[in-house]
A and B are shown apart, each in its own frame.
Chain A
Amino acid sequence: MIYKMTRRAALAGVASIAMIAAGATSALAEGWKPQKPVEMVIMAGQGGGADRLARLFQSIIQKEGLASMPVLPVNKGGGSGAEALRYLKDNEGDAHKIMATLNSYYTTPLRTDIGVDIEEFQPVARMALDTFVLWVNADSDIQTLDDYVAAVKASGGEWKMGGTGTGQEDSLVTAMLEKEFDIKVTYVPFKGGGDVAKNLVGGHIDSTVNNPSEALGFYKAGKVRPIMAFTPNRIEVFPDTPTATELGHNIVYWMQRSFVAPKGMPAEAVAYYTDMFQKLSETEEWQTYTKDKALMADFLAGDELQAYFLEERAKHAAILADMEADGSS
Chain B
Amino acid sequence: MDTLALLADGFATSLSPINLLIVILGVTAGLFIGAMPGLGSVNGVAIVLPLTFIVPPSSAIILLCAIYYGAMYGGAISSILLGIPGASTAVATTFDGRPMAQQGKAGLALIAAAVASFVGGTISVVLFTLFAVPLADLALAFGPAEEFALVLMAFTTFVGLGGDDKLKTIIMICLGLVLSTVGLDLISGQPRLVFGDLPGFYSGISFLVLAIGVYGIGEILYTIETSRTAPQVTPAKITLRELGDGIRTMNKMWRTMSLGSFLGFFVGMLPAAGATPAALMAYGIARSTSKNPTSFGKGNIEGVAAPETANNAASTGSLLPMLTLGIPGSPTTALLLGGMVMWGLMPGPMLFIEQPDFVWGLISSLYTANFAAVAINIALIPLFVWALRMPFTVLCALVIVLCIVGGFAPSQKMHDVWLIAGFGVAGYLLRKADYPLAPLVLALVLGPLMEKSFRQTLIAEQGNVLAFIERPLSGAFIAIAALFFVLPLVKYLRKGGVRSIAPAE
Contact = CB atoms under 8 A, between A and B. Distances in A.
Contacts, number: 164
B189 interface: yes
Contacts of B456: 188-190
B341 interface: yes
Contact-size category for A? 35 or more
B239 interface: no
B413 to A, nearest CB: 8
Contact of B460 (A51, A75, A205, A216): A205
B481 to A, nearest CB: 21
A269 to B, nearest CB: 21
A47 B335 contact: yes
A245 interface: no
B344 A195 contact: no
A167 to B, nearest CB: 3
Contact of B348 (A111, A189, A199, A220): A220
Interface of A: 45-48, 51-52, 55-56, 58-59, 62-63, 73-80, 82-83, 86-87, 111-112, 114, 158, 160, 165-168, 171, 186-191, 194-195, 197-199, 201-205, 216-218, 220-221, 223, 288-289, 292, 329
Given A46-B335, A204-B144, A78 B459 contact: no
Nearest to B353: A221
A198 B327 contact: yes
Contact of A186 (B46, B144, B341, B459): B459
Contacts of B42: 46
Contact of B271 (A186, A198, A329): A198
B143 A202 contact: yes
Interface stretch (B199-207, B424-432, B434-442): B199-207
A221 B204 contact: no
B338 A51 contact: yes
A284 to B, nearest CB: 12
Interface stretch (B151-159, B165-173, B179-187, B489-497): B179-187
A288 B341 CA distance: 12
B349 A112 contact: no
Contacts of B141: 202
Given A165-B184, A166-B187, A194 B328 contact: yes
Interface in B190-211: 190-191, 194, 197, 199-204
A82 B452 CA distance: 20
A79 B338 contact: no
Contacts of A194: 326-328, 334
B189 A80 contact: yes
A83 B49 contact: no
Query: Size band of the B side of the interface?
Result: 35 or more
11 contacts: A45-B203, A47-B334, A52-B334, A59-B49, A83-B203, A165-B184, A189-B186, A194-B334, A216-B346, A217-B325, A217-B349
Given A46-B42, A78-B184, A195-B327, A87 B199 contact: yes
Contacts of A288: 344
Tell which of A47, A86, A111 has the most Cβ of chain B within 10 Å: A47
Contacts of B325: 198, 201, 217-218
Contacts of A221: 348-350
Contacts of B272: 191, 195
Contacts of B190: 112
Interface of B: 42, 46, 49-50, 53-54, 139-144, 183-184, 186-191, 194, 197, 199-204, 271-272, 321, 325-328, 331, 334-335, 337-338, 341-342, 344, 346-351, 411-412, 452, 456, 459-460, 462
Contacts of B335: 46-47, 55
Contacts of A201: 140, 325
Q: Which of B327, B337, B346 has the most CB of A within 10 A?
A: B327
Contact of B203 (A59, A78, A114): A78
Nearest to A111: B189
Contacts of A73: 46
Given A189-B186, A217-B348, A329-B189, A79 B341 contact: no
B348 A82 contact: no
A158 B237 CA distance: 65
Given A158-B462, A202-B143, A218 B348 contact: yes
A76 B413 CA distance: 9
A59 B335 CA distance: 13
B175 to A, nearest CB: 21
B346 A220 contact: yes
B187 A189 contact: yes
B331 A59 contact: no
